């Protein structure tokens, strides 16, 4: 899966950061599987997006998640 947008990899001021815009049916596990090949790495995505996510099981369509 190709990243859908850019910004920071490790910070909001990084133009090379990679993002994923949440689509219908997405979960953090599915996103982790797509980007890393390993669904078990979803907590890393959750940790990178703690500023916009409170619960790893609650993501919303259209949300822009940073993919480390």
Contacts to other proteins by CB under 8 A: 1-6, 8-11, 13-18, 33-38, 40-41, 44, 67-68
Residues 16 and 13: their CA atoms lie apart, in Å, by 9
CB of 15 to other proteins, least distance (A): 5
Q: Which is nearer to other proteins, 5 or 57 (CB)?
A: 5
Q: Which is nearer to other proteins, 40 or 57 (CB)?
A: 40
Q: Nearest-CA neighbor of 65 among 34, 23, 21? A: 21
Evaluate whether 41 touches 60 at the Cβ level (below 8 Å): no
CB of 8 to other proteins, least distance (A): 7
Evaluate whether 59 touches 66 at the Cβ level (below 8 Å): no
CB of 17 to other proteins, least distance (A): 6
């Amino acid at each position: 899966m190709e990243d859908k947008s850019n910004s920071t990899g490790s910070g909001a001021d990084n133009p090379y950061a990679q993002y994923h815009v949440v689509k219908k049916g997405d979960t953090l596990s599915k996103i982790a599987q797509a980007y890393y090949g390993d669904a078990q790495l979803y907590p890393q995505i959750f940790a990178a997006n703690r500023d916009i996510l409170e619960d790893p099981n609650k993501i919303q369509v259209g949300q822009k998640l940073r993919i480390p």
